[in-house]
Structure formats: C-alpha cells, structure tokens
Amino acid sequence: MKSLLDSIKGPWFIAVYTWREGLRRKTLVGFLILSLLVIFGATFMTSFINQATVGDVSTDMDLKLIKDICVTTISIFGILITIFISASVVPTEVENRVIYTVLSKPVRRFQYLFGKFLGVQLIIIMNLCLMGGLFFIALYIKQQILPTLLLWSVFLTYFEFLIVSALTFAIACASSSSVLPTIAGLFIYITGSLTEYLKDVYNRSGQTGEWLDSIIGYIAYILWNVLPNLQRFSLKTQIINSQPNDPPTDVLIPQLVLYGLIYAVCGYILAYWIFRKREV
C-alpha cells in the first residue's frame, strides 16, 4: 500500500509543480484574460439588438448570441491554451535542463511523464473552469435560471481538449523546442475537425473505376475510422441551445467521454513510447 502511495505521490508532486509553473506563463494568462474579456463582452455585443416582435423574441436572441459567442470563445481560447501548454511542458524542461535534476531523483520516466500530463490537464481544467464559470454567471444574470446544460457543454469540451492535448503532448516528447509541437498541435486540431471529410472521399471513391481511386477511398475510410474526429463533440454546442425535440443526450455523453478517454490513452502511450527512448 505504501509503495503504491509513493508511486502516486511522485507524479502528483510533478503535476502540482507543472500546474504552478503553468500559472506563471504569460502567454497562457494572456489567452485567459482575452477569453474572459470576450465572454464578459458578449453581453455588451448583444445590447444594441433591440428588435421587438410578437412575444419575447429579442431576449431569446440576446441569449442565443451570448451562448454562441461564449461557447466559441471557450473552444478557441481553450484549444490555444491546451496546445501551448501541452507543447511546451516537456521541451521547456529539456531546454532548461530541469529534467535532468528530476530524472536523477527516484522517479521513473513513466511517473515523470504521467505527472507532467496530469499537470497539463490540471491547467486545462482550471482554465475551463474559469471561462465556464464566467459564462455561467453571464448566462445566469441574463436568464435568471441556473444554466445546468452549460456544465455538460464545458464537460464535453474538456474531453475534446483531452484528445488534442494527449496527441500534442506525444509530439512534444520527441521535440526539444516547443515551436514544432505547437504547430503540430494546431494541425491536429484542424485535421481532427476535418476528419469527416475523409468519409466524403470514401463515399465518392470508385466512381472512375480506376483501381487507384478505390485504393484512395479505402485509405480514406481507414483513416476516417482511426483518426480522432473532433466534430463528434459538436454535441457541446447543440446541447446548450437545446431544443425540445432533441434526442436524449444521456447515451451520447458517456459514449463521447469514453471516446475522448481512449484517444487520450493512445496519446499517452505514444508519448511514453517516444520519451522512454529519448536520451535525456
């Protein structure tokens, strides 16, 4: 029991250290302040919409605009924070040579990496909580009802970030500078959002009758299945503007959580695989 506690303690201390270090990063704080400003400003952006129609449509319009602006802000700034932090934690330690001091202690590489990964997740969760919290307050002030669906939306957003974070983290483990993993992280996000396009390629393949055409189709199909598809998390925007005829989300939310977790484990295995061979 004691050895198990010790094996958890190490990564936890590293995670807390990474989290503290993350708080000191000016870029991240800048992104966070910007996102908070946009979320706060969303209420002002809608204030000049003063249409009056039958019923109470103008109020609903304000709410919709606030919801859309805030969810997008959380997504954009959240993903930037996720990519920057996931891409920089390991390369910065290599650059500063702190990693040598840490690894010379009785901490295994597996534990070190797990601690770093956990620290990254703590930073992402903290940022999400801050942005989501402000959004929660903005919505509550506007509609005077606790926006509980927002919590589900933020919860799902985290699992989308988790996939991007794990894969960027894996690339960062192979790099000595944070520039390459940052660019790679952005590409992961963009390609992850466009994976659906691969299915379109598959659906259109075979029309020419050429063998190459069919092969490209099959490759696209395999990639569509294997690559993480971030569009599957679009439920997060749908849920917040929930309509009475929407299908129940209680089945889809656990499925998406599991989907996020599986790819996060994939990313972590890849990260460890790369890192254990690295000469540090």
Partner 1 sequence: MTDKKVNIILSFLFVIFVILGAYQGRNVEFYRECEAFYRWILAVGTQERLFQASEGEQKTGKFVDLQLFDKVSEKAIPLLQNEERIKDSIDNTISYRENFANIIGDISNDPIIWKITTKKEMEALRKEFLKNLREGKIEFSRNITYAEAQESGVNIFNLFFGFRKIAASLIWLEVDRYWHQGLLYRMVPLMRTCVTLDPNFVEAYLIGAWHLAYNATAKLIETPQHLKKWNPKYKACVGEKETFYYLGIDFLKKGIRHNPRDYKLYFDLGFAIYKNKMNDYPNAVRYLTEAVRVPHERWVRRQLYICQELNGQYEEALQGWEDYKNRFPDNPIAPRFILRNQGKIYEKKAQELIKEVEKISDEQIKEEKIKEAENLKKQAKEIWEKLSKEESDPYGEYRLLLMDAMDLYNQGRFLESIAVLDKARWESPSNFDEASDLIIKIKQEANLPLTVSEKKAVLRKAEGDRCQGMPEEIPNSG
| Cβ at position 109, least distance to partner 1 in Å | 11
| Cβ at position 32, least distance to partner 1 in Å | 20
Q: Is 201 helix (H, G, I), strand (E, B) or coil?
A: helix
Among 8, 49, 129, 215, binds partner 1 (CB under 8 A): 49
Residues 10, 107: contact at Cβ < 8 Å?
yes
The amino acid occupying position 157 is T
- Give the contact letters, 107-146, x = binds to partner 1 (CB under 8 A), - = no: ----------------------------------------
Among 6, 95, 200, 213, binds partner 1 (CB under 8 A): 200
Q: How many residues bind partner 1 (CB under 8 A)?
A: 57
Q: How far apart are CA 171 and CA 239, in angstroms?
A: 32
How buried is 277 (Cβ within 10 angstroms: 0-12 exposed, 13-18 middle, 19+ buried)? exposed
Q: Which residues contact 125 (CB under 8 A, 6 or more apart)?
A: 158
Among 51, 104, 144, 148, binds partner 1 (CB under 8 A): 51
Chain-centroid distance, C-alpha 213: 35
| Cβ at position 64, least distance to partner 1 in Å | 6
Q: Which residues contact 204 (CB under 8 A, 6 or more apart)?
A: 217
Candidate segments 31-39, 101-109, 140-148, 227-235, binder of partner 1 by CB under 8 A: 227-235
DSSP assignment of 42-109 equals: HHHHTTT-----SSSHHHHHHHHHHHHHHHHHHHHHHHHHHHHHHHHHHHHHHHHTHHHHHHHSS--H
Residues 77, 145: contact at Cβ < 8 Å?
no
Nearer to partner 1, 25 or 116 (CB): 116
218 binds partner 1 (CB under 8 A): no
164 binds partner 1 (CB under 8 A): no
Site residues, partner 1 (CB under 8 A)? 45, 48-49, 51, 53-55, 57, 60-61, 64-65, 68-69, 71-72, 75, 190, 193-194, 196-197, 199-200, 203-204, 225-226, 228-232, 234, 237-238, 241, 243-245, 247-248, 251-252, 255-256, 258-259, 262-263, 265-266, 269-270, 272-273, 276
